[in-house]
Amino acid sequence: MAAHFRLNEDDNGFLAAPQGASLIFAGASGTQSWIERAQDCVVRIGVQSVGVVTANGGSLGVCIEVGDAAAKGQDGPAPIEYQLRASQSVQVLVKAGERVAFKAYPQADNAQVLRTVVWAADLKSDLPPPQNGAGHG
């Protein structure tokens, strides 16, 4: 009979999106999506995944692809039934009115993915907001 692995409290804490971030995806497979903003904005996109090694030497990776670039994180290799946690984040400039497409997903090698979350958070800018020239003030 196959073992049934479950998330524990520490796993749920690890998978929590940062404060102020929007959850884009929660499941096992990952997602393909896009981000669009009304004004130029730097956005942090993150992926976090938890899994369990199913055969000695198993590992769990995560990947975020934006355009032709990819950022990866990995945990393992590790012994059988070892709990794995992998995360990665990137910062991208989203120009006003333009869509930035991305993919974020886990990559399991001799491991079972228990849960993956993908999130996005706008980073605060030190620049003053643009003036609309309407004379309000």
- Cβ contacts of 42 within 8 Å, gap of 6 or more: 91, 92, 93, 94, 122, 123, 125
In a domain, 2, yes or no: no
* Residue 131 included in any domain: no
CA distances from 3 to 58, 63, 108 (A): 16, 27, 17
pLDDT of residue 126: 63
Domain membership flag for residue 8: no
How far, CA to CA in Å, does 133 sit from each of 21, 126, 136? Answer: 31, 20, 8
Q: How many domains does the chain have?
A: 1
The pLDDT, as a whole number, for residue 109 is: 97
- The verdict on residue 50 lying in a domain is yes
Mean pLDDT for all residues in the chain: 90
Please report whether residue 42 resides in a domain.
Answer: yes
- Please provide the DSSP assignment of the chain as one string: --------HHHHHHHSPPTTPEEEEEESS-EEEEEE-SS-EEEEEEEEEEEEESSTTEEEEEEEEETTEEEEEEEEEE-TT-EEEEEEEEEEEE-TT-EEEEEEEEEEESEEEEEEEEEEEEPPPSSPPPP--S---
Looking up residue 89, the CATH number of its domain turns out to be: 2.60.120.40
What is the domain extent for residue 28? 21-122
pLDDT given at position 38: 95
Asked if the structure places residue 71 within a domain, the reply is yes
pTM attached to this predicted model: 0.85
In a domain, 47, yes or no: yes
The answer to whether the beta carbons of residues 54 and 110 sit under 8 Å apart is yes
Q: Which residues of the chain have pLDDT under 70?
A: 1-3, 125-137
pLDDT of residue 132: 53
Q: Does 28 reside within a domain?
A: yes
